[in-house]
A and B are shown apart, each in its own frame.
Chain A
Amino acid sequence: MNALIFTTILGIIILYLGLTKNKKILAPAGIAGLLVTLFLSFNDWGLGSAYFHNMVVFDNFSIAFNISMIIITIVIFLFGIDYYKMMEFHVAEQYSLMVFALVGAFLMTSFSNLIILFLGIEILSIPLYILAGGKKFSFKSNEASFKYFLLGSFATAFFLFGIALVYGASATFYLPEIKTYIAQFKGNLPPMLLIGLLFIIIGVAFKVAVAPFHFWSPDVYEGSPTLVTAFMATVVKTAGFAAFYRLLGIGLLPLPESLEKALWVMTGLSLLIGNLVALKQYNFKRLLAYSSIAHSGFIMLAMLSQHDRSASVILYYTFVYSIASVPLFIIFILVKRASNGLDHLKAFQGLYKKAPWVAVFMTILLMSMAGIPPTAGFIAKYQVFILSISQGYLGISIFAILMAVVGIYYYFNVVREVFTDRDHLEPLVITKLNAGLIIVCGIAVVVMGIFVWHLPI
């Protein structure tokens, strides 16, 4: 709770620091504040304290996810120092909006009341709608912002309708009470409750871009400023899946058969659509968007396996995925700058000639995304498959493994471009900070893949 309050204040402090017209202090101030938040979160570890009539519960699950999101946000802020160097206006607003989004993410990991989940999703989303349109003079950015806003509010309407129906049936917003209410029907739910639950699932599924509700994500990822795309692909995804797991894994599962079938279909479709459509993508951000849809499928698989270890596996998966995504976006920005704003995969051509070590780290990061040992991405996928097979979901596990193999192809499409030569090479300008981030994240991916196979939860 202290972390939540402090983060809110931090956002306002950054907003006021914007008045000093000194852009250089914004990111360090934000990072210092986030480090304090990190410390406060660690302090709450193991207490499992509930606040405000059990509306929010800061148990180890939520704190572990919060810490992982804070670390990723710090990395993104460090990336922001270079990214926002050229931007003159509204830098403080961008940072503070990201911090406010983090507040929403904290609520999403710790809710035990549907109202808080709703508020968390909204507090996370509204800053994102604004951030997506951060490049005011870019048509694509405007399109991304507007598309995200319209579709997002539509999904919110569904979600709210679902909450209303569930409340109408069970007369409570509290997840444990809803679970006992559902249990009394022994799988034969009244339709009102069934539709309500389905709508709630649709609302959350939209946020994490699971397959039938994924149409917004490629366009929004492509149009948004790259730093915001990195934030969406990592922190928002982590928060979304933490909320999804809290809602289903901790809260409501096992659900009646019809709903679980719907969830399995969503898993299968994410794996299929994400991986197959990504094969045909030549824009790097769109490629990562489809790859993130595919990753959603794997995380859903871990969630639906319904094992005690699911939470830990999801945490490991999202963290590893995030820590590999951010440096990829950083490298993409560097390459894009060097090739006059080209965002085709061809922009990566000649990277090996220009900066061999960047090419090597890029390969490692993409290997982690594809799930090839010795990187952490392999361990993450391996644990998901072990979990789902041990719970007896053999068919879908084999399908998921096949799709993971398909995934290797499009990640290595990028690697191929990296090692392809180009005739005229523009110099690649890398600041020390960005270089450090790429190296640290790259090494972290390998070290985690070899030594750290579990994150405590």
Chain B
Amino acid sequence: MPEAGWDYAKQTTNQKLNQVIMVFLFYFLSAIMVISALLVVFSKSPINNVIYLIICFIAMAGHYILLNAQFLAVVHIIVYTGAIMVLFLFVIMLLNLNKAIIPQKSAVTRIMAVVTGGIFFLVLIAATRQTFVINPRYAFTSEIGLVANVGKTLFHEFLLPFEISSVLFISAMVGAVMFGKRDHAVGDD
């Protein structure tokens, strides 16, 4: 959505047209996202699930571009759509899961799931109803999502989280090697 507080009177027709297009794109992408997200849940075949999820992610990348966060959009497509989802597809194909094998839960579990999920949904709806517009603390500039600015923030203000996440990755790699390596059974403690 375009930023609030625009001076509508001073806008040229060109700007107005731009805004209409932006609003249209926003609703278009949102509709794609919502529909594909619902299809992820409702379709039975795992392959279809993954494909719908990819569509959902691509639409989300479109949202990032609308917010002028090009870098995020590109990374999102490369990492999620490119790497993770292709990995998903590979795993599904290798394990030959192309059938609907969702285990059937008992009626009690289902009812409980529906009730808790419904209550949670209700709370979220109630929350969104009362949401108000918050004045943005940082002024919106069109350059906010450019690679240079993201990099500056990342290596200046967020340097520690950026560096410390290496510990996370090294422990994940250690785990992958540990579980992936073949070794034989030993004593049980």
Contacts and interface: CB of A to CB of B under 8 A. Distances in A.
A195 B127 contact: yes
Interface string B16-33: 000000000000000000
A191 B167 contact: no
B175 A129 contact: yes
Contact of A53 (B123, B128, B157): B157
Contacts of B6: none
B48 to A, nearest CB: 23
Contacts of B5: none
A97 interface: yes
Interface in B124-157: 124, 126-128, 130-132, 134, 136-138, 157
A90 B182 CA distance: 11
A100 B178 CA distance: 15
Interface in A37-61: 51-53, 55-56
Contacts of A336: 189
A87 interface: yes
A136 B179 contact: yes
A166 to B, nearest CB: 12
B108 interface: no
Interface stretch (A68-76, A119-127, A351-359, A361-369): A119-127
Given A89-B181, A195-B123, A171 B164 contact: no
A97 B176 CA distance: 12
A171 B168 contact: no
A270 B171 CA distance: 32
A407 interface: no
A126 B171 contact: yes
Contact of B127 (A104, A127, A172, A192): A192
B188 A135 contact: yes
B168 to A, nearest CB: 5
A55 B160 contact: yes
A356 B9 CA distance: 91
A138 B160 contact: no
A8 interface: yes
A97 B186 contact: no
B175 A130 contact: yes
Contacts of B137: 171-172
A260 to B, nearest CB: 18
B174 A96 contact: yes
Contacts of B103: none
A86 B186 contact: yes
Contact of B158 (A115, A136, A138, A227): A115
A71 to B, nearest CB: 22
Interface in A221-247: 225-227
A107 B131 contact: no
Contact of A90 (B127, B134, B157, B178): B178
A445 B188 CA distance: 30
B177 interface: yes
Q: Which of B127, B167, B170 has the most CB of A within 10 A?
A: B167
Nearest to B161: A115
A11 B160 CA distance: 18
Contact of A192 (B131, B165, B181): B131
A138 B179 contact: no
Contact of B171 (A89, A97, A192, A226): A97
Given A15-B174, A97-B175, A192-B128, 18 more contacts: A52-B159, A55-B160, A86-B186, A90-B183, A100-B171, A103-B164, A107-B164, A126-B168, A126-B172, A130-B171, A171-B134, A171-B136, A190-B130, A191-B127, A191-B128, A192-B131, A225-B189, A227-B189
Please give me the 4 A-B residue pairs with the lowest Cβ-Cβ distance, nearest first: A130-B175, A191-B127, A86-B187, A52-B160
Interface of A: 8, 11-12, 15, 51-53, 55-56, 83, 86-90, 93, 96-97, 100-101, 103-104, 107, 115-116, 119, 122-123, 126-127, 129-130, 133, 135-138, 168-169, 171-172, 190-192, 194-195, 225-227, 333, 336-337, 341
6 contacts: A89-B183, A100-B171, A119-B164, A130-B175, A138-B188, A337-B189
